[in-house]
A and B are shown apart, each in its own frame.
Chain A
Amino acid sequence: MTVDAKRFEALFNPKGVVIAGASTHPGKFGFVSLHNLLSAGYAGNVFATNLEGSPVLGIPTLRSIEDLPENQADLIFVCTPKSANPDLLRSAAAKGITAAFLTSAGYGEAGPEGRRDEDELIDLCDELGILLVGPNGQGVVSTPASMCAQIVAPYPPIGSIGVASQSGNFISSFMNWACATGVGISRAVSAGNAAATSVVDFLHYYAEDPATSVGLAYIEGIADGPSVADGLTEVARHMPVVLVKGGSTSGGARAAASHTGSLATDDATFDGICRQAGVTRAATIEEAFEAAATFATQPLPKGNRVIVMTTAGGWGVVTADAITRHPDLELAVLPDDLLAAIDEKLPPRWSRNNPVDLAGGETRDTIPEVMQLIAEHDDVDAIVYLGLGIQSNQARMLRDGRFYPDHGIERIVEYHERQDGRFAQAAHDISVATGKPILTATELAVAFPDNAGPATVRDTGRLCYPSADRAVVALGHLWRRSRYRQRRGLPIT
């Protein structure tokens, strides 16, 4: 681990946290942040300061940071007003604090005077040897440490996506997506004004962090273009980086200028720089999350030949359109020997083409068997699997209906749910065994997340895509990274 990465350990794996400015009022940041820290189950030392020394949430507080025992905490989470911060940080440093997250506002975002104060803050933290994060930030989350030091919800499931954002709200958005899909987060941090620590700095740490396998970032303005471009190139060499940039249009750029006070660059230039750096650029927040979730849970494809496997015709047709329309993916031609092998498994009404439409001809084991045949074929690089959960959706209706459990309904419900669970598990297991991505898509993931199909996809740790189109977009991002690396002689596993 580099010297810089070691500095981040106090932020993401602190031995103790001090909430400075803890409040007894449940509406205040100083209350909420202590609440979130305690309720997420952080196991390190927790301290809180409060001017009156009133207990907050049942824990005693320190009237002053001077009362903090030495070397029991290394992260201070600052909810105090700006004017209190210089003295607070000096005293904290003397007690062994080496990282500070500042939620306090009124700094660079507030005009020239605030900017001067921010400059002084940077110098002070430099002098004290404190890693300064923020100010004007929302918080920091680290699931390996069960740490939720932030002034907002949620606390996401554990996973390997590392999030950094120039806008705190998008930290929440990405974590909400993690909660919705089950594909979890390792670390998440809002850079706030990024006075001393930028989104790219966090990505650098994530690239070295064993708990993180993919970086997911939101940025608006770029203060130092060449160093950002070099930094992103370096980080993307070590792990996939998915980026959303706000202010890509002239209207958005004006909004960004007033939001973060940053200068916009020509979007085509930024797009080219991402491609040159091997950074995955996403147009929307959900596209970015799904791309990151896919990098985190699927192997990279070695090529771009995709087979669609479906239990129903129309879905396959639309997905074939999406793959064909994609500038980089290819709808694979179904190889003759694969066709012959699938013929052995299905009655003749199946599509005998790509999409492989089973057309209702499947029996108990057909889906896992055909999926395996397809995935093992050398001329196939990836599979999009459609139709999972249909029978379990009917099972739900049967179970909820007034005839349950009579008339043989109970038995068929169990059978359907067991089968969909098996199919979802097979998609995961075959993908792991073959090293090829298999993406399962159904809107049941959203409509009825407890359906045995999508629920099992979730249990395998993978994303159940809410539509085939979104699966195709995510797969396209995987393939672009793979191609970028192959062309440059870099490993793809």
Chain B
Amino acid sequence: MPTTLSERDSKALLAPYGIPLAAERLVTSPDAAAVAATELGYPVAVKLCGDNIAHKTERGLVRLGLSDPDAVAAASAALLDAARPEDRATGVLVAPMVSGNRELIAGIATDPQFGRTVLVGIGGILTEAIADASIRRIPITLLDAEEMIDDLATQSLLGPFRGEPPVDRQVLARALVGLSDAAEAHPEIVSADLNPLIVSEGRPVAVDALVEVTS
């Protein structure tokens, strides 16, 4: 059975491979959370971090758009109180809010016949309904990655959109190559999800990451 790494460990595993990740701090107390938030700049999001937290959003373990130290401290205290032993919580992640109208997804999956693949797709709440994704077998080249992005049907979402510049395809393509490189360097990776990659001022940034590894 594969095991899931914490958000913090997932990001740490992927960070060396050129994957754009939102800045964040891991803290263990409400006061430290408030200090971290002030340093990072408001508004921020706080999330409970642990090795085994399922249904983070459904359980209310993600608090978004906090705009002052008191709100951050209060939210962090609530999250730490809500932690269950099986969550194996290690603290609270504080991250600046990344804003953008578009969301993408990217990741690594293991196909039962072809082995590990890299995926990029249109994200957000309509992901499943739109089902617009492009997949390649690992390893991929930068050219493969660029062609994956070209393959997406919803190209209009990648151009200039609602006052925001077009998606930076090079950043996105390098992130896909990064996923492929990470998978090659870590044969234990079964899957990885960058969901969502928020497109902020044209630049895709992963605000959440989840890696599964063979145990």
Contacts and interface: CB of A to CB of B under 8 A. Distances in A.
Interface in A295-315: none
Interface stretch (B83-91, B106-114, B164-172, B195-203): B106-114
B114 A273 contact: yes
B140 A276 contact: yes
A151 to B, nearest CB: 31
Interface of chain A: mostly helix, strand, loop or mixed: helix
A268 B134 contact: yes
Contacts of B111: 225, 265-266, 269
A272 B117 contact: yes
A272 B112 contact: no
Interface in A23-48: none
B182 interface: no
A229 B140 CA distance: 13
Interface string A333-349: 00000000000000000
A408 interface: no
Interface stretch (B3-11, B73-81, B144-152): B144-152
Nearest to A223: B113
Interface in A185-238: 222, 225-226, 229
B144 A265 contact: no
Contact of A269 (B135, B140, B151): B135
Nearest to B155: A327
A487 B113 CA distance: 28
A229 B133 contact: no
A271 interface: yes
Contacts of A226: 114-115, 137
A222 B133 contact: no
Contact of B136 (A222, A276, A487): A276
A226 B117 CA distance: 11
A59 interface: no
Contacts of A487: 143, 147
Contacts of B136: 272-273, 275-276
Contact of A276 (B113, B133, B137): B137
Interface in A218-264: 222, 225-226, 229, 263
B137 A273 contact: yes
Nearest to B146: A487
B114 A269 contact: yes
A272 B137 contact: yes
Interface string A474-493: 00000000000001100000
Nearest to B151: A275
Interface string A386-430: 000000000000000000000000000000000000000000000
A26 B137 CA distance: 50
Given A276-B144, A488-B143, A225 B113 contact: yes
A234 to B, nearest CB: 14
B137 A229 contact: yes
16 contacts: A222-B114, A225-B113, A229-B137, A265-B111, A265-B112, A265-B114, A268-B134, A269-B111, A269-B135, A272-B134, A272-B136, A273-B114, A273-B137, A275-B151, A276-B140, A487-B147
Interface of B: 111-115, 117, 133-137, 140, 143-144, 147-148, 151
